Amino acid sequence: MNKNLGWKLALIVGTLLVFLAGIFGVPKNFSGRGLAAAIQERIHLGLDLKGGTHLILQVMVNDAVNADSDRALERLKDSLQRRKINYTDISKPDPTNNPDRIVVKGIPPESSSDFKQLVADRLPEYDATSGAENTWSLGMKASLLADLKNRAVQQAIETIRNRVDKLGISEPVIQEHGLGQYQILVQLPGVDDPARVKEIMQSTAMLEIRQAMNNGAPYPDQQAALAANSGALPPNTVLLHGRSIGGNDRNDTGDVVYLIFRVSAVAGHDLREARVGRNSQTQLPEVEFFLTGEGGKRFSEFTGAHVGDYLAVVLDNKVMEVAVIKGQIGDNGVIEGRFTDQQAKDLALILNSGALPASIRYLEERTVGPSLGADSIRAGVEAAIVGMIAVLVFMLVYYRGAGINADLALILNLVILLGFMGYFGATLTLPGIAGVILTVGMGVDSNVLIFERIREELCNGKTPPSAVEQGFSHAWITIVDTHVTTIVSAAILFIFGTGPVKGFAVTLTFGLLANLFTAVFVSRVIFDWLLSRKQRGEALSI
């Protein structure tokens, strides 16, 4: 028996050391400050404790689908012409809700098999179904559509991570959020200027160069533009907003409308690099961009063919710049947007990190200021210490000798809990601290169950060793049942919760698991050790 006990004691001491290492690592020096630093390195604080910004973003995946079906539509038009199949109209009737749906009208019945063949050859990712009056309706295959949307989300995550990394924010969390709702969770610890970061993340960075109609001259607003074109825009043109250009008056925020060609000459993926420069005359910051070989070739063809026309630099559907084409231009250009230094730097960063495949919207924003986080830690730790001391003192008073046993188990329970968190890199949140406090309260339940049972058995006239034996074996089943039900609750919290609540679920679960070991195994060993040193028949302090 004694040999067995020694082995068990060694196991407990070993566990203690292993989990202490989990909390502190292997500390280099044992001064108070060294230990505090070691803890901070291993136990990560949640946003609610260290301050930072938590955002939920919605990826407007329909943008990506629209872009794909726009290309498909152009391809279809092209092939219909080439194969000489007649049609009266081809359009996307509902781009907002059914972005993948393309409707072709007026296909003569004799061409319908040709049309089907053409769709199969040229648009393999679409299914064509025929409707009334020679109308065909095309929709993307369901699995490919889902794929496209998921890819848009993944690509958005990559792009956002790229931008956040370039901003030098440490330890960001950027991941898909929820199930199949195309949302992204972004957590940025310690960001003190969330407005700027949000703007940088949200910019789709769709840079395009298009032809500007009407000699590059703007209209004051949409009505004026329509009136000037006798009520209807010329074919293949759109109206885009932009700031009035000309004059370098920084206070001029006049919003005007430009008539712009629908199709771009070069677009975002033709961009190779962007960098901040300074205008040689005005000394204002500007952003220079350089095109890829392919894009540069197209740009120079376009400018060569349009000497004397105007071009517009369009960023996220906003006209940034309109200029006359004086001659053929190679592979670079300049955006002068009357930027501040910071704005020019940010724009270059966004352009270099690539375009988002779809626009994004913010659904949720929570910012915890660092001052609040510090207060929360103070309050949480204070409550934990008060609660802990109250429980420890009560156990000592109520159970005396056995109270020491329970207190040791409780302290070991906390060490294991924190050690777990250190090893798993789990995040400690404010509700997580509450979880630690609750663990103290609930953890002591197991000890109370066992001790009360032992007292009962002693009352019934059993000897101390057999009372301890009976107490533990009877309480064991109950303890397992109670722990399982609480862990079920915690697991559900972990699945459904985010951020702080998840942190709570984690500490509660780890705490309860540790409690199974400490309250049952460790307490038992301590009792056995006490009993082994007592004379037969000597009373147990409980």
Partner 1 sequence: MEFFRNPNIDFLGKKWYFLAFSLVFSVAGVLSMLFWHGIPLGVDFRGGTLVYVKFSGPPDDNQVRAAMDRKGLHNARIQRYGPPANNELVIALDERETSEQALDRGKLQIIAALETNAPAGKQDLNNVSSLTIFNYLMEKDPLHLGADANQRYTAEAQAIVGYRDRTKGGVLTSLDELRSVTRPEVIAALQEGFFLSNFGVRNVEIVGPQVGKQLQNQAYLAILYSLLGMLVYLWFRFEWIYGVAAVVTVFHDTLITVGAFSLTNKEISLTVIAAILTLVGYSNNDTIVVFDRIRENIKLLRREKLADIVNKSINQTLSRTILTAGLTFLTVLALYLFGGEVLHGFSFALVIGILIGTYSSIAIAAPILVAYQEWRSQRGKPSSGGVGEIRREKAKARA
* Residue (10 or 363) nearer to partner 1, CB: 363
Task: By CB under 8 A, tell whether 252 contacts partner 1.
Answer: no
Q: For residue 284, give the 3-state DSSP assignment.
A: coil
Instruction: Work out which of 86, 117, 342, 473 binds partner 1, going by CB under 8 A.
Output: 342
DSSP per position, 67-125: HHHHHHHHHHHHHHHHTT---SEEE-S-TTT-TT-EEEE---GGGHHHHHHHHHHH-TT
Structure tokens at 84: 């000489």
H-type alpha helices, 134-189: 142-166
In angstroms, give the least distance from the CB of 442 to partner 1: 6
Binding of partner 1 by 201 (CB under 8 A): no
**Minimum distance of partner 1 from residue 282's CB (angstroms):** 17
Q: How far apart are CA 370 and CA 365, in angstroms?
A: 16
Residues from 282 through 321 that contact partner 1 (CB under 8 A): none
List Cα–Cα distances, 62 to 102, 259, 304, 318, in angstroms: 14, 26, 36, 20
Minimal distance in Å, beta carbon 318 to partner 1?
16
Identify the residue among 11, 36, 146, 488 touching partner 1 (CB under 8 A).
Answer: 488
Specify the residue, 107 or 433, whose C-beta has the smaller distance to partner 1: 433
C-beta of 15: minimal distance to partner 1 in Å? 24
Report the C-alpha gap between 498 and 501 in whole angstroms.
6
Which of 420, 500, 523, 527 touches partner 1 by CB under 8 A?
500
Contact set for partner 1, span 37-56 (CB under 8 A): 48, 51, 56
Which residue of 487, 513, 516, 521 would you call a contact of partner 1, by CB under 8 A? Answer: 487
Residue among 12 and 430 whose Cβ is closer to partner 1: 430
Nearer to partner 1, 21 or 37 (CB): 37
Among 6, 14, 93, 178, binds partner 1 (CB under 8 A): 178
Of 216 and 435, the one with the shorter C-beta distance to partner 1 is: 435
Cα angle for residues 275, 296, 200 (degrees, 5° grid): 35
Residue 352, C-beta contacts closer than 8 angstroms, at least 6 positions apart: 166, 273, 274
Residue placing its CB nearer to partner 1 in the complex, 4 or 489: 489
Question: Which of 136, 472, 504, 527 is the binder for partner 1 (CB under 8 A)?
Answer: 504
**Residue 57: exposure state from Cβ atoms within 10 A (0-12, 13-18, ≥19):** buried
Instruction: Return d(Cα 321, Cα 314) in angstroms, integer.
Output: 7
- Separation CA 244–CA 266 (nearest Å): 23
Residues numbered 438 to 457 that lie near partner 1 (CB under 8 A) are 438, 440-442, 444-445, 448-449, 452, 455-456
Q: Which is nearer to partner 1, 301 or 481 (CB)?
A: 481
Burial of 428 (0-12, 13-18, 19+ CB in 10 A): buried
The only residue of 209, 265, 508, 522 in contact with partner 1, by rule CB under 8 A:
508
Query: Which CB sits closer to partner 1, 240 or 430?
Result: 430
| Location of structure tokens 């020694």 | 6
Q: DSSP character for 280?
A: T
Q: Which stretch binds partner 1 (CB under 8 A): 16-24, 208-216, 259-267, 484-492?
A: 484-492
Q: Which helix (H) or strand (E) holds 393?
A: helix 370-399
| Pick 51 or 333: Cβ nearer partner 1 | 51
**Is there binding between residue 493 and partner 1 (CB under 8 A)?**
yes
Contacts of 215 (CB under 8 A, 6+ apart): 310
Residue 58 in contact with partner 1, rule: CB under 8 A: yes
CB of 140 to partner 1, least distance (A): 25
Decide: 23 and 415 in contact? Cβ < 8 Å.
Answer: yes
Q: Is the dihedral of CA 249, 251, 255, 261 positive or negative?
A: positive
- Residue pair 153/62 in contact (Cβ under 8 Å)? The answer is no
Which CB sits closer to partner 1, 79 or 478?
478
**Shortest separation between residue 384's beta carbon and partner 1, angstroms:** 8
Q: From CA 309, how far away is CA 331, in angstroms rounded?
A: 18
Number of residues that bind partner 1 (CB under 8 A): 84
State which residue, 144 or 487, has the beta carbon closest to partner 1.
Answer: 487
Pick the stretch among 112-120, 125-133, 156-164, 427-435 that binds partner 1 (CB under 8 A).
427-435
Q: Give the footprint of partner 1 on residues 354-413 (CB under 8 A).
A: 361-372, 374-376, 378-380, 382-384, 386-388, 390-391, 394-395, 397-400
